[in-house]
Structure 1
Amino acid sequence: MREYSPLPFDQTDDQADLRSMVRSILEQLATPQRLSETDENEAFDEELYAALAESGLVQLEGDLDGTPASHESQAIVLEELGATATSTAVSFVVQYMAVTLLTQHGTPAQRDRFLGPLFEGAHRAAFALTEPGGGTDVARAMKTRATRNADGGWTLNGAKMWISGATDCGFFIVLARTSPIEGSAVGGITMFLVPADAPGITVNEMDTVAIHGLSTCEVGFADVVLGDDAVLGDVDRGFRQVIGTLNGERLNAAAVALGIARGAHDAALDYVRGREAFGRPIGGFQVLQHRLVDEAVKIEAARGLLQRAARVADAGGAAETLSAMAKLAASEAATTATENGMRAMGGSGLSREYPMQRFWRDARLYTFAPLTDEMMTNFIAEHHLVLPRSY
């Protein structure tokens, strides 16, 4: 029987080299046994992260002068991580978000202090936006406050929820309300760079069903005193500045979800080729073949949308609708591939001996992060189909 061969990637030689580099590091360090151990022990893989950062995969083409990395390069790294070490992929999404915000809005001093070590892997960032009482409508619900001190600095008070990597980050990017709501709720919110060891910060890890290799936390800020140089970007415009990065975050979420879909698809193919029933491999049964083909089509469609959106964004074009479509398509591919994989493997799918159950759990994150699939659908309806706002 002819050997299975994945479809070729649409990529330049440099992009092929980048993909090959990531795969080489993962083959050495992200072995099935190691991935299983970090998932079971709910431990972040510091060695893997260090190797990736030392190879320049946090920085990519970016630099301290404010030059950003390309969306295509980030998507390649995240797809490869998503197909193997999904928790590390989620951490990289956060780091790329921090890199973007520091690149676009950081002062030279802030970039030297925070961005340089971030590039080197000397520390990691945690992005603190979501709150206990507000998710999708977080700007209107935001209760975290930063008030001016007499010396020109700030005092930060409040609580954040669902914060990835907060147990071992070097600093937080925290959004806090600095002025009352007047008109639009997105105004009056400021970004702050907060060292993780600042007095008054408490971090409690949450018990989650997925992404076990990266902590998910509640973070409290009680009278945390900050200097005026802690403001990232413009006072009262922080939320608007974050909105300006959402296109890239959607693309990066799509890339991880695409990777999860590909990882689950490959794992299912390996299983159905080797598992026999009624005297032949179960991959010969039509219902399984149809499901596998359906997910293969969804994977390639999601990749096509992701590449198109990333290229438009890198060229400076309007990619918001394409990135929303890519995120929806990749989320659908991930949930389809993991659901089909669990059904194809039957009882083995429930076994932690196999990675399918981890892919199945981790894929659920991208049905609601960074925004829910329903909000992505609303966005496309309003901005692409020009239909009335539905919420």
Structure 2
Amino acid sequence: MKATGFSALTDDERAYRDSLDRVLNDVAPLERVQRLDNAKTFDLELHAALGRLGSWGIGVAEEHGGSGGGAAMEVLTLESLAGHATSMAVFGVIQFMVTRLIARYGSPSQRERWLAPLCRGEIRASFCLSEAAGGTDILAAMGTRAAKRGSRWILGGSKYWISGAARSDLLVVLARTAPHRSRGITMFLVPVNAPGVTAAELDTFAINGYDTCSVTFDDVELGDDAILGTRDGGFVEVVDTLNSERLNTAAVAAGIGRGALRLATAYAGERRAFARPIGGFQAVQHRIVHAGVELEAAWSLALGAARLADLGRDVAVESAMAKLACAKAGQNAAACGMDVLGAAAFDLALPMQRFYRDIRLYSFAPLTNDMVANFLGERWLGLPRSY
């Protein structure tokens, strides 16, 4: 698939993306990515190589050990990763969220301790918000609590559907510290090896190269220096980063779709039936074209919103549009790829079935598409609140 002018890059962006593509092709060829995915194994070599490239430091100032850059560089990174090594792109969404929170709200000592190693790819972190009984309604449902006992905080409860926790070094944990609905949540930085922390992998059918976990906190003792940001103000601070998370998940969804269409296009040009490539049949060709146009339009929304964010604009509506459009376009592209490959799509040695499984995450993460539509109905169209 050729690049279009709708997603034109600057010289610096193009040079970085070329370097990123070289790392992906050299360190993690598709055959290796698929083998690790089938084995449900995180790619440590690729993670380290991306740290050396500076990918994990995007969005963090150089003075804190980062690479600089902003939203556009983040989405470019994630879109490229997702079309190749999907699980690493999902990891990247969490990585950028955690480093953004620490860079924005961390104390000088917290930034000094955690940011540079995270940016270099020497350690990993997870974000712990969801619980078994609470996702979108987590403010009302949150059962994880932290209470002050003398000079120490005692953290108790459990989190569910937490990406990467079993193999992380650091957890950013949201816990209720006061009864107020939104002003009673605090963020804590919790080392995974702290006494009382237990992370257990869940058996899931997608994103196989990046573990999904339950995490239990059994009277974990923490000091005041573990608080990230403002006491009782953690949820408000997290909400302040949601536009970036929506943009980044949009980029991953678009990248998965692009990977699927790239494979479908190559297959349609090679697979022959009735003495000609199947890509010469309009039923096949038109399906790929329509899926590709939809995907390009969705990706243009995401990249355009990221560029607006880098200019300091409020992109709450634009990021929600991008998330909704990219999730739907990515799913359509993956379904198209499955149809084009036919029986070959069921081959576990090929990535099409991985793209098809993994894209399903973005019908409900980080918010369901219906909740995103609710937000757009109110904030964009000016309709009455529907939830």
TM-score (norm 1): 0.96
Q: How many Å separate the matches in 2 of 1:79 and 1:61?
A: 16
Deviation at 1:280, TM superposition (A): 1.5
Measured after TM superposition, the shift of residue 186 of structure 1 is 2.0
- Paired residue for 2:155? 156
2:260 corresponds to: 264
Which residue of structure 1 lines up, in the alignment, with residue 11 of structure 2? 13
Question: How far is 1:304 from its partner?
Answer: 1.2
Q: Is the 8 A contact 2:123 2:168 kept in 1?
A: yes
Structure 2 match to 1:100: 100
Once superposed, which parts of structure 1, at least 4 consecutive aligned residues long, lie more than 6 Å away? none
Contact kept? 2:176, 2:184, Cα under 8 Å: yes
Flag the 1:224–1:241 CA change in 2: closer, same or farther, 3 A.
Answer: same
Please tell me whether residue 109 in structure 1 is matched to residue 109 in structure 2. yes
Distance 1:249 1:29 in 2: 27
- 1:386 match: secondary structure: coil
What secondary structure, in the 3-state scheme, does the structure 2 residue paired with 1:180 have? coil
CA drift at 1:61? 5.4
* 3-state SS in 1 of match to 2:173: strand
Q: Could you give the per-residue CA deviations for residues 219-270 of structure 1, whole angstroms, max 9, x where no partner exists?
A: 0000000010000000111001000000000000011111101100000001
- Tell whether 2:182 aligns with 1:186: yes
Is residue 340 of structure 1 aligned with residue 336 of structure 2? Answer: yes
1:388 and 2:387 are equivalent in the alignment? no
Match of 1:59 in 2: 57
**How many angstroms does 1:62 deviate by?**
2.1
How far apart, CA to CA, are the structure 2 residues paired with 1:294 and 1:249?
Answer: 28
Provide the C-alpha distance between the structure 2 equivalents of 1:51 and 1:65, rounded to a whole number of angstroms. Answer: 21
Taking the aligned partners of 2:341 and 2:221, their CA distance within structure 1 comes to 54
d(CA) in 2 for partners of 1:64 and 1:194? Answer: 25
Match of 2:227 in 1: 231
- Structure 1 distance, partners of 2:367, 2:16, is 28
Call closer, same or farther: CA 1:214–1:366 in 2, change over 3 Å. same
Distance in 2, matches of 1:141 and 1:60, equals 33
Aligned residues: 384
- Structure 2, unaligned runs of 5 or more: none
Report how far residue 327 of structure 1 moved: 0.7
Q: CA RMSD in A?
A: 1.3
Hey, what's the Cα distance between the residues in 1 that align with 2:164 and 2:138?
20
User: 2:165 corresponds to which letter in structure 1?
Assistant: A
Checking the alignment, whether the CA contact within 8 Å between 1:44 and 1:213 is kept in structure 2 is: yes
Deviation of 1:279 after TM superposition, in Å, equals: 2.1
Match for residue 360 of structure 1? Answer: 356
- Is the contact between residue 64 and residue 111 of structure 1 (CA under 8 Å) also seen in structure 2? no
* CA distance in structure 2 between the aligned counterparts of 1:301 and 1:251, rounded to whole angstroms: 14
Q: Take 1:197 and 1:207, find their aligned partners in 2: how far apart are those partners?
A: 22
Q: Give the CA deviation at 1:65.
A: 5.0
- Counterpart residue type for residue 169 of structure 2: G
Q: For 1:27, which of 25, 28, 40 is the aligned residue?
A: 25
Query: What is the DSSP-based 3-state SS (H/G/I as helix, E as strand, rest coil) of the residue aligned with 1:84?
Result: coil
Contact 1:64 1:115 in 2 (8 A): no
Deviation readout 1:182-217 (Å, 9 max, x if unpaired): xxx222000000011000011110011100000000
Q: Is the 8 A contact 1:254 1:306 kept in 2?
A: yes
The residue type paired with residue 280 of structure 2 is G
Unaligned runs of 5+ in 1: none
Query: 1:172 maps to which residue?
Result: 171
Name the structure 2 match of 1:222. 218
Counterpart residue number, 1:46: 44
Q: Distance in 1 between matches of 2:261 and 2:62?
A: 39
User: Residue 186 of structure 2 aligns to a residue in which SS?
Assistant: strand
Identity, % of aligned positions? 47
Q: Deviations over 1:32-62 (max 9, x none)?
A: 2211111111000001000001111111352
Taking structure 2 as the reference length, the TM-score comes to 0.97
Alignment partner, residue 35 of structure 2? 37
1:254 to 232, 250, 259: 250
